[in-house]
Amino acid sequence: MHACGHDIHMSAFVGTARRLVEMRGQWRGTLVMIGQPAEERGGGAKEMLADGLYERFPKPDYNLALHDAASAPAGTVGYTPGYALANVDSVDIIVHGIGGHGAYPHTTKDPVVLAAQIIVDLQTLVSREVSPLDPAVVTVGSIHGGTKHNIISDQVLLQLTVRSYTDEVRKTLLDGIKRIAENQGRVAGLPEDLLPEVTVRTDEFTPATYNDPELVGRVTSAMREAGVATTIVEVPPVMGGEDFSEYGRTEDKIPGFIFWIGAVDPVLYQETMAAGGTLPSLHSPFFAPAPELTIKTGVKAMTIAALELFAKPE
Ligand SMILES: [Zn+2]
Ligand SMILES: [Zn+2]
């Protein structure tokens, strides 16, 4: 599968490097290209910074990135000034139980039933505890427990992704998950030492991505002027996460901008929209970017963005 389209990203990366080298006479300055790993884990940028990215290599004045969009046709660019992508937290819940025979449930504490109750209760965090005007997501993406039809297990593991923009909403969600999980354990009659264990994976936290509005204005005007895409439009923020945010969160507060490049075959896009259908999202096994136009647009847009920020030759 193409997942997030990282094949598109790397091709556009190489293409941009080639273009900028070819155009070496038209700009002055230092270009640093970051081949960052592990975007999906959200850990690569943090690790590169911890490893001295800004000390061992020239420290940039601006940071730029692009990401493909599974909801826009190839040949287009989308941008969001201000907050563009969400806070992303990964949370593990170990639901303990007291195992036994499936035919004698009264002698057990069934963690499968308890996990099911926790999952249903978690739905009330977004629907009842967060303001309808504040974006928030709690998704249980993974549930594992049990081994056999007739065995009541002693453990279920849940893995959650939790998304927000503000620190306050983030805290409401994370505190609420712990409160619901632990107290549902009490409701089930578990002893205190067997209550569900909630772990927020701070090593996998990705902070919300902020696009510097002034930089966005400058770069998108240059893109429009150069005609890099058929459409260059402002798009709403999304609840996806992107550890590109980390590059702007050091004490240097370097302004950054990540923009979207449409990746869907334009004909498929038109047909799907006309039929009122839905396009497969990023990470869907059915997402297949239209390679040539997407990559070309990415290379053109990123090259123009970089040229705009570099000084001109004397
Ligand atoms: Zn992804
Ligand atoms: Zn991605």
Distances in whole angstroms, Cα of residue 194 to Cα of each of 90, 174, 175, 253, 287: 22, 20, 19, 44, 42
Specify burial of residue 188 (Cβ count, 10 A radius: 0-12, 13-18, 19+). Answer: buried
What is the rounded average pLDDT of the residues 257-286?
96
What is the rounded average pLDDT of the residues 23-29?
95
Same domain, 77 and 93: no
Q: In this predicted model, what pLDDT tens digit does every residue of 152-181 receive, in sequence order?
A: 999 999 999 999 988 899 999 999 999 999
Q: What's the domain range around 161?
A: 87-204
Same domain, 97 and 195: yes
**What's 249's domain CATH number?**
3.40.630.10
Same domain, 148 and 47: no
What is the distance between the alpha carbons of residues 240 and 142, in angstroms, rounded to a whole number? Answer: 18
**What's 182's domain CATH number?**
3.30.70.360
Cα 86 to middle of ligand 1, angstroms: 13
Report which residue type is found at 65: A
Cα 75 to middle of ligand 2, angstroms: 19
Q: In this predicted model, what pLDDT tens digit does every residue of 197-239 receive, in sequence order?
A: 999 998 888 899 999 999 999 999 999 999 998 899 999 999 9
Same domain, 166 and 94: yes
pLDDT of residue 74: 98
At residue 103 the predicted structure's pLDDT band, cuts being 50, 70 and 90, is very high
Give this prediction's pTM: 0.80
Nearest to 232 by CA among 82, 78, 84, 80: 78
Instruction: Reply yes or no on whether the pLDDT at 121 is more than 90.
Output: yes
Same domain, 92 and 193: yes
Number of domains into which the chain is organized: 2
Cα 112 to middle of ligand 1, angstroms: 30
